[in-house]
Structure 1
Amino acid sequence: MDEAKRMEEGHNLALDDDAKDDLKKQQTNIEHDRDVKLDHEQPSQVKQKTKRVATLDAFRGLTIVLMILVDDAGGVYPRIDHSPWNGCTLADFVMPFFLFIVGVAIALALKRIPKIKYAMKKIMLRTLKLLFWGILLQGGYSHAPDELIYGVNMKFIRWCGILQRIALVYCIVALIETFTTKLRPTTLSPQRLAIFTAYKWQWFGGFMAFLIYMITTFTLYVPDWSFVDQVKGHGSKRYTVICGMRGHLGPACNAVGHVDRQVWGINHLYSQPVWRRLKACTFDSPGEGKLREDAPSWCLAPFEPEGLLSSISAILSGTIGIHYGHVLIHFKGHSERLKQWVSMGFVLLIMAIILHFTDAIPINKQLYSFSYVCFTAGAAGIVFSAFYILIDVWGLRTPFLFLEWIGMNAMLVFVMAAEGIFAAFVNGWYYEDPNNSLVHWIKKHVFVNVWNSERVGTLLYVIFAEITFWGMVAGLLHKLKIYWKL
């Protein structure tokens, strides 16, 4: 009995030793699997951290900041407001900077496309959202922030605008990127122009946009046209503009305006074009002022700065932007990326300067001329490269954090700040008179009266009460991981 018991205990002990050996083997295998898993996950973790390039958000934030600055301070500083016609001011960089960064973002977002149909659905849905918000904010329905009314006469609704142009460019560039997903190279050949030939269909799309724009601009016959002035104080008088020409790049008889008048109808164009600040229209040029008595009739006419033909030209800005995104994907070294970016930026700038100063094709934002595309895209490339050096190469993120925060919530800041929806909401709470609201009080008593200057006070108000304020709001939302995305 004792012997049997000892044998049983010995057998159990042997089983325990075997179990221990098995347990040790299992633990060893688990540790090995964990190590292997960590080895595989480590690049994924690093990739996750570097996937969102900080420069992208900072550049987008910079564009939003510039928009707020020129929109709200441009009235007292005409030199930073949109150029009345030929030339380029600070405000004229905003739109192409938007389109440039949209192109970069498309390249990164569509780097891998598991299902083309699903990607197309998302692209079309986002396009429709942008169109909806564009018409709502800039179509005339919203009168923010100064007028406490809403509603639009459908006879005069404006169909075009900033978000509508972004929607068109985004849709075209993203669809080309999606449909050519199977033609993308995994690695580039060592040839100098390999990055261009690898994405030849994207460049072909940009070239077709360029071709349509140039042929239409210089060959389309522009006949005489008339309009009824709807601006308050001028009555309802009808004016006629004499044209009968082709290839004209002036305000009155260009093909860009003619296409919009034919497609949208003259009542649906922007009623306060910046050409009213030309010397031919006002003695206060380049600022706004009373129209001259001898001003030509077209000074009173509407003109769409985000029209159809000029938006086709704007596709080139998105095409150049997506090229910068492709460089970011394929070139892993900082020096290789910067060499591609900076060289292309300077080439575009030189082309634009030559075209402008030889009077071949003047730089013109209202027409979105080819020289304007080159000049602004080149500037965007140089600024993007500078941000990349400061933020992603040298690691100086702290000074640019507020730009990153704004860039992460760009749509929110655009709607609430740039379009004045938040200020309109605050202005809706007033005492006795609409001018006795918190926004008006802060601007007048905290900034303008303290500095005893409308210009300085307005500039400081825009910097601190708008840009800095929304930078802090965007930072708080980032901490809470709240983002408004379309």
Structure 2
Amino acid sequence: MHDGARTALRIGKRLASVDCLRGLAVAGMILANNPGDSAHVYAPLRHAAWHGCTVADLVFPLFLFLVGASVALAVDREAVASGRAPGFWPRALKRVCVLFLLGLGENAWLRLSVAALRIPGVLQRIAVVYAVAAWLHVRVRADRTLVAIVAGALLGYWLLLAWAPVPGLGQPSLAREANLEGWLDQLVFGRHIWKAGTLWDPEGVLSTLPAAALGLVGVLAGRWLRRGGTGAFGVAAAGAAMLALGLAWDAALPYNKSLFTSSFACFAGGVGVTLLAVAHRLLDGPEHPAAWAAPLRALGKNALAVYVAASLAATALRHVTLPNAAGARASLQAVCFRALFGGWSDPYLASLAWGVCFLLAAWGAAALLAARGLTIKA
């Protein structure tokens, strides 16, 4: 499917490029979330402490970008807008509710405390971004209008962070100890946020605005794929322009994943657009079966199911405890990690090896589902 020889895609058709990038994002999330020893983690797999950006910071935004792209590929906006797709909105609402409830269940798994149950989360943010992307994809026909909405959301969020005084502080602030995102999270959720002692949630209320804008960038990319995906080099150039804009914007508004600053969302969107354009050229043509990409595609076909299963398994390993020789108790993960990698001389390599083994186990489950042709949908 080279440029000039592509035709519009059939609604709902799966693309290897999207599946592989989704698999890459999930693999990155699992690897970053599951070090063997949290005190010894290679820098690219650590999230930035506050301002800044690492590879680990970009994997979840890449997934949000792909949520929007998948919406554009799967939803026939003309049919839905004209009423020729009865039942679409109830199904979409059901999907949003299932994702949100799964997220609450993930937060409560083996650590249920109604008084301090975290309400926001990764799956909850995916649910909201999916809802916004689906709604605007159907309601907004023109791509340039979606571009205007994205620009307005990112600029508006920048103005809020830069100019709106934080209540109780009396001035704008991007500090960890006092920021508008944290104030609103405290107002809406109270104690029901990320960690005890924090004043904000990385998937909080206000930062959902730029996250949804990133999903709409994905919708625009998905529409391009739906139209046949011609001009991949031009799209890659647009992604590079977003990267450059994000880099320049960082000087005025620092990258910050926890606040999902507009500069960070712009840079992450550039990463997503560029990767998708390249992946489309490499993977979606019939002359390129790309057997080397099969592991990522297997992960991508059941990305959410694999992520949820991996998250529940990781929580179980950390919360189930066993007695040790000293009479104290240690987590099952600590016991297994010491047994498997405790003798390694490089603690960073040992910590990475645990994460890789965890990822391989998740991939094995995904490969089994793919071999049987099973796709688990929320």
TM-score scaled by length of structure 2: 0.86
Q: Distance in 1 between matches of 2:155 and 2:245?
A: 17
Match of 1:458 in 2: 351
Match of 2:105 in 1: 136
Greater radius of gyration (CA): 1
Summarize the alignment of residues 75-114 of structure 1 with structure 2, pairs less than 5 Å apart: 75=38, 76-77=40-41, 79=43, 80-111=45-76, 113=79
Q: Distance in 2 between matches of 1:254 and 1:476?
A: 45
Which residue, 203, 206, 209 being the options, matches 2:147? 203
Contact 1:428 1:434 in 2 (8 A): no
Match of 1:60 in 2: 22
Name the stretch that deviates more: 453-462 or 315-324: 453-462
Match of 1:28 in 2: none
Match of 1:127 in 2: 96
Contact 1:448 1:458 in 2 (8 A): no
Determine if the alignment matches structure 1 residue 352 to structure 2 residue 276: no
Could you tell me which amino acid in structure 2 is paired with residue 254 of structure 1?
N
Q: Deviations over 1:11-47 (max 9, x none)?
A: xxxxxxxxxxxxxxxxxxxxxxxxxxxxxxxx99x97
Does the C-alpha gap of structure 1 residues 445 and 316 become closer, same or farther in structure 2, counting only changes over 3 Å?
Answer: same
Structure 2: 5+ residue runs without aligned partners?
1-5
Summarize the alignment of residues 72-471 of structure 1 with structure 2, pairs less than 5 Å apart: 72-73=34-35, 75=38, 76-77=40-41, 79=43, 80-111=45-76, 113=79, 115=84, 118-138=87-107, 141-143=108-110, 150-152=111-113, 154-180=114-140, 183=141, 198-224=142-168, 243-246=169-172, 248-265=173-190, 267-271=191-195, 300-333=197-230, 336=231, 338-356=232-250, 359-393=251-285, 395=288, 397-417=290-310, 419-421=311-313, 424=316, 435=330, 442-449=336-343, 451-463=344-356, 465-471=357-363
Q: Deviations over 1:331-370 (max 9, x none)?
A: 454xx1x1232011111111111111xx311111111111
Q: CA deviation at 1:199?
A: 2.0
Contact 2:210 2:260 in 1 (8 A): yes
Does the C-alpha gap of structure 1 residues 426 and 249 become closer, same or farther in structure 2, counting only changes over 3 Å?
Answer: closer
Q: Distance in 2 between matches of 1:126 and 1:407?
A: 18
Could you tell me which amino acid in structure 1 is paired with residue 103 of structure 2?
G
Contact 1:349 1:374 in 2 (8 A): yes
Q: Distance in 2 between matches of 1:128 and 1:220?
A: 32
Q: Deviations over 1:166-198 (max 9, x none)?
A: 111111111111234xx4xxxxxxxxxxxxxx3
Contact 2:318 2:331 in 1 (8 A): no
Match of 1:190 in 2: none
Structure 1: 5+ residue runs without aligned partners?
1-42, 144-149, 184-197, 225-242, 273-299
Contact 2:233 2:277 in 1 (8 A): no
Q: Deviations over 1:416-464 (max 9, x none)?
A: 11x1337727986968887585x65543233332x3443212211211x
Q: CA deviation at 1:99?
A: 0.8
Q: Distance in 2 between matches of 1:99 and 1:124?
A: 18
TM-score scaled by length of structure 1: 0.68
Q: For CA contacts below 8 A with separation 6 or more, give which structure has more relative contact order.
A: 2
Contact 2:42 2:348 in 1 (8 A): no
Could you tell me which amino acid in structure 2 is paired with residue 52 of structure 1?
R
Q: Paired residues, what number?
A: 362
Q: CA deviation at 1:216?
A: 2.8
Contact 2:41 2:351 in 1 (8 A): no
Q: Distance in 2 between matches of 1:374 and 1:321?
A: 12
Q: CA deviation at 1:312?
A: 1.0
Q: Distance in 1 between matches of 2:234 and 2:88?
A: 29
Q: CA deviation at 1:105?
A: 0.2
Q: Distance in 2 between matches of 1:434 and 1:386?
A: 49
Q: Distance in 2 between matches of 1:364 and 1:49?
A: 36
Percent sequence identity over aligned pairs: 26
Contact 1:70 1:90 in 2 (8 A): no
Q: Equivalent residue of 2:174, what SS?
A: coil
Q: CA deviation at 1:217?
A: 2.2
Q: CA deviation at 1:109?
A: 0.6
Q: Distance in 2 between matches of 1:49 and 1:315?
A: 23
Does the C-alpha gap of structure 1 residues 434 and 479 become closer, same or farther in structure 2, counting only changes over 3 Å?
Answer: farther
Q: Deviations over 1:144-163 (max 9, x none)?
A: xxxxxx421x2222111111
